[in-house]
Amino acid sequence: MADQEIPIANGCDYEDKCLFLFHFGAYGWTKLYVWADHLEDAFEVATEWLDDNAPGLLTSFDLEDYKRTADELDLKWQDHWPDFEDERFCKVAETTEADHTPIGHTTLKNGTHIPSWEWTADEVDPTHEAFRETILRSECEAA
């Protein structure tokens, strides 16, 4: 996929920002540019874009997932769970959600987590041609 085909999540927000290139999915085929001050902000924008444009890359856990994990850990499910004050439930939640990046900055329609092995991000060097091309595309979007 050529760089100019990679979507820009927030093309109008390019001024005085860093450019991040995200790769999503098991093979990294879903690519996305995001303008942001730092990676944390870029991740927020990217996951909101995923929610609208590639929702299958997001995942959620339901009560059955937690119950299954409790069973695997030989813990009896408690009627008052989920209860994050209870250390046993915290162990269940931690085990269930292992290797997933939580999305806690917003409420998404299609998930609360993304598998950690299914996303990467790099800051694009401002001297790289892709940076310059993305600025041009962003200026066009902002006009």
Q: Would you write out the chain's pLDDT as a tens digit for each of its 143 residues? A: 444 489 999 999 999 999 999 999 998 899 999 999 999 999 999 999 999 999 999 999 999 999 999 999 999 999 999 999 999 999 999 999 999 999 987 788 999 999 999 999 999 999 999 999 999 999 888 76
C-alpha angle with apex 136: 142 to 25, nearest 5 degrees? 90
Domain residue extents for the chain = 3-57+114-142
Gap between the Cα atoms of 109 and 38, Å rounded: 25
Q: What is the 3-state secondary structure (H, E, C) of the chain?
A: CCHHHCCECCHHHCCCCEEEEEEECCCCCEEEEEEECCHHHHHHHHHHHHHHHCHHHCECCCHHHHHHHHHHCCCCCCCCCCCCCCHHHHHHHHHHCCCEEECCCCCCCCCCEEEHHHEEEEECCCCCHHHHHHHHHHHHHHC
The pTM (predicted TM-score) of the whole model is: 0.86
d(CA 138, CA 36) in angstroms, rounded, equals 13
